[in-house]
Amino acid sequence: MDSSEHALIEAARAGDGPALEALLTLHAPAVLRFGQKMCRHPEDAQDVLQEALLAAARSVRDFRGDSSFATWLFTIVRSFCIKKRRVSKFAPTETVSLDHHAGAARIASSAPLPDEAAADHELSHALNEAIAELEEANREVLLLRDVEGMTAPEVASVLGISVDAVKSRLHRARVQVRARLEPLLPAPERLSAAGPECPEIALLFSRYIEGEIGEIECAAMEKHVASCARCRAGCDSLKHTLALCRSNVGDAGRGVSVEVQTLVRNALRELSTKPLGA
């Protein structure tokens, strides 16, 4: 947490309305982004944002700094996402197999793209579909860790699970998303048939990123990757996928939109009849 955010938090806890508005506006785009990808419908995501911001504004005096403000806020947001999924008219009535998902054919298309910009756009679209296809438990972990950039312990705090459980879900999510994107990745990043000594490289590299493998296993992996074009391609493709996750923030991440500003002000307007902390 930087000093400017800390100052906003302290002022908001003391009842400073403009500071509270600035603090919520700072975090609102990430909240909306998370809601959009978890609820998968704009109307539900806006409802979640409105309710979460109002709840955060009402209880900001209770924030003690035991975790980051973002971790505290995402814990609130997630609870409203869960409630919204239970009652939403947009909630799916059945589970759709990934093998029959309507977007699978588009993701699997290997048609050449005209230039790098078009390729990135198509990859971004495919990434959104691949994330949407994940099981909810794996999707929320990937969103918080790889899209929002939270640490594994922070994600564990938001979800109320162990760090080991976070990493287990994260590895599965990364491997599934990378596999969905592979047909659209640059040719050097596509995997060929595995050799007899090839590990499950996407999973192993994900564990490597999270610091889960020891020095001996790490050295063996690095030696193998240096001599194996296939596994080197697998590492590069996962790096590419993770970079896309961090850059794929959509409109909610490009500054603070008028929509977000309006939602923040609406939440504060609803709060105005009650004192902070009530």
pLDDT digits 0-9 by tens, 31-59 = 888 888 888 777 888 888 889 999 999 99
Give the count of beta carbons closer than 10 Å to the beta carbon of residue 109.
12
- Model-wide pTM > 0.75: yes
CA 5 to the chain's CA centroid = 22
Q: Which pLDDT tens digit goes with each residue over 154-173?
A: 999 999 999 999 999 999 99
Q: Which pLDDT tens digit goes with each residue over 251-275?
A: 444 556 787 788 888 888 887 765 5
Least confident of 113-122, 178-187, 191-200: 113-122
Check pLDDT > 50 for residue 113: no
Closest CA to 201 of 176, 223, 169, 225: 225
- Return the C-alpha torsion angle 189, 195, 200, 206, nearest 10: -40
Could you give the count of Cα atoms lying within 13 Å of 13 in the half-sphere of its Cβ?
12
Mean pLDDT of the chain: 83
Note the CATH number of domain 1-92+256-278.
Answer: 1.10.1740.10
257-264, long-range: CB < 8 A, 24+ apart: 257/29, 259/32, 259/46, 260/25, 260/28, 260/29, 260/32, 260/49, 261/25, 263/28, 263/32, 263/46, 263/49, 263/50, 263/53, 264/21, 264/24, 264/25, 264/28, 264/53
- How is the chain split into domains, by residue range? 1-92+256-278
- Greater confidence (134 vs 108) lies with 134
Check pLDDT > 90 for residue 20: yes
Residue with tokens 């911001």: 53
Q: Which pLDDT tens digit goes with each residue over 221-251?
A: 999 999 999 999 999 999 999 999 988 654 4
Q: Residue 167 is which amino acid? A: K
